[in-house]
Amino acid sequence: MADNKIELTKKDRLHVWWRSTFIQGSWNYERMQNGGWAYTMIPALKKLYTTKEDRAAALKRHLEFFNTHPYLASPIIGVTLALEEDRANGAPIDDVAIQGVKVGMMGPLAGIGDPVFWFTVRPILGAIAASLAISGNILGPLIYFFGWNLIRMAFTWYTQEFGYRAGSRISEDMSGGLLQDVTKGASILGMFILGSLINRWVVVKFLPVVSTVKLQKGAYIDWNNLHGMKGVQTALTQQAAGLSLTSNKVTTLQNNLDALIPGLAGLGITLICMWLLKKGVSPIVQILGLFVIGVVLHVIGLM
């Protein structure tokens, strides 16, 4: 094994890095970034696997569900490159291990990428650029475009390399059983994260009003007796103190469900989808069906 070890060179890794720019290109409702992920891995897979069977298996493995922040995919790509490299060289790394690593890392990393890039760096850069542009200064878009891409490209390259080195360390220690640990740990982390993502990212909201209760005097802000700016101040103070904005307490069906446990409906939909998948109902049918259900429920005012 050590004699003719296939290794990914820096050139290969640069090639993968460039392709990772297009990871969201075939973003779809079924497996999200999977097409882009496979596209990104192809230069490495081409080098590591030569038979048709190996190549087909590798492509299939990398067309599984994947979704994270597009830039934070880079460290995951790095780790996966290292795992694939060792797998190609005979290490016992199975599909579940690779998928587990991917799923386990994608949620938390998306949790870093969204606030950092979309809600911090981009608004700051955007505000600077916009204020220049509004005054007719062409530097606005230039600063925005070059500044952003410099930050992005440096970030994705260095985190991919970081992931690659970390991934190599994981699989170097073969005798210590570290690999089996990583496999099991990854699937535990993966399931944990899936549980939380379903709660956070499957959005279901029932609108029907279950009850409208008239509140006692003093439990709500009495708008009729408030006047002028002083009144606004009083109202804000009262609201902060927990007084209701209206004289009625409106409870929706969603409020009732949330009192049970928030996200229960999303979990229910996921479980039904799992069952349908096992019954052989195609994901596309399920997706179209959910859109139809969404429109119908919206029209009848349930959601």
Of residues 13-52, those binding other proteins (CB under 8 A)? 21-32, 34-36, 38-39, 42, 45-46, 52
Nearer residue to other proteins within complex by CB, 209 or 295: 295
Distance CA 203, CA 223 (A): 34
Residue 107 contacts residue 68 (beta carbons within 8 Å): yes
Nearer residue to other proteins within complex by CB, 12 or 54: 54
280 phi-psi bin (left φ>0, alpha ψ -120 to 50, beta other): left
* Interacting positions 50-79 with other proteins (CB under 8 A): 52-56, 59-60, 63-65, 67, 70
Q: How many residues touch other proteins (CB under 8 A)?
A: 119
| Closest alpha carbon to 35 in 83, 11, 67, 8 | 67
Residue 252 sits at φ, ψ, to 5 deg, of -95, 165
**Position 94 contacts other proteins (CB under 8 A):** no
Distance CA 108, CA 67 (A): 11
Distance CA 235, CA 245 (A): 9
**Position 256 contacts other proteins (CB under 8 A):** no
* Interacting positions 116-145 with other proteins (CB under 8 A): 118-119, 122-123, 126-127, 129-138, 140-141, 144-145
**Position 185 contacts other proteins (CB under 8 A):** yes
**Position 91 contacts other proteins (CB under 8 A):** no
Exactly one of 150, 169, 192, 212 binds other proteins (CB under 8 A); that residue is: 192
* Interacting positions 201-240 with other proteins (CB under 8 A): 201-205
Nearer residue to other proteins within complex by CB, 50 or 246: 50
Sorted by sequence, the CB contacts under 8 Å of residue 18 that are 6+ apart come out as none
Running DSSP on this structure, what letter comes out for residue 51? Answer: S
As measured in angstroms, the least distance from the Cβ of 66 to other proteins is: 9
Residue 107 contacts residue 196 (beta carbons within 8 Å): yes
